[in-house]
Amino acid sequence: MVIEGIEGDVDPIMDPVLEKQIVKKGKSYKITVGGAELDWNNKFLVFMTCNLGNPKFSPELSAKTTIIDFTVTQVGLEQQ
């Protein structure tokens, strides 16, 4: 899943997914999102993108995610 245009905070409904609050029930895995119990696939990935040059994310969001900065700088371009 790709979520585009993150500005700073992510809707709290995404917390179970970001925190991987997965429960094993029988032979399957379940996660509760927005009050609905959903099947979980271990191959599921979430990517969130941001167009901000220097985003300020909350410490909580930073702890739940891996932030990768793909910003291209003048020095980086010169080195290439």
Q: CA 51 from chain center: how many Å?
A: 15
Q: Report the length, in residues, of the chain.
A: 80
DSSP one-letter code for 28: E
Query: Which domains are seen in the chain, by residue range?
Result: 2-79 (3.40.50.300)
Q: pLDDT, tens digit, for every residue of 39-78?
A: 999 999 999 998 887 788 888 888 999 888 887 778 777 8
Residue 71 confidence (pLDDT): 79
- Rounded CA gap, 75 and 80, in Å? 9
* Low-confidence winner among 8-22, 30-44, 65-79 (lowest mean pLDDT): 65-79
